[in-house]
Amino acid sequence: MPVIKIHVEREELAAIERRAAELGIKVEDMAYGALSCSMSHVKEPFCRVRIDDAVRDKGKDLPLWSDSARSVNIYEGKDDVAPAPGPKGGPL
């Protein structure tokens, strides 16, 4: 079976592991599910914008969903994840 490797920062992996545990699935299942979701919606403008933003920003700062201990955009007293719903009203 072919393999796709994804390189993530420690803070990103910690957040992924935590979310997978919350859902009762393995990290690999979380990654496959996210890829499957993206592939299903990639032609929708909101999805393409988020993919392009993530690729452009990789390595510059941590994403909002990651642990943000060394993020340049996190400020004391602010939530790590926006309280508003994501695209189409769903969670981020």
Run of H or E residues at 72: none
- Model confidence at 43: pLDDT above 70: yes
Rounded CA-CA distance 57/63 in Å is 8
The pTM score is 0.63
Mean pLDDT of 17-34: 94
Rounded CA-CA distance 91/76 in Å is 23
pLDDT digits (tens, 9 = 90+) for 2-14: 999 999 888 889 9
User: Which band of pLDDT confidence, cut at 50, 70 and 90, is reported for residue 36?
Assistant: very high
* 90 or 2, greater pLDDT: 2
**Residue 69: both structure tokens together:** 């201990």
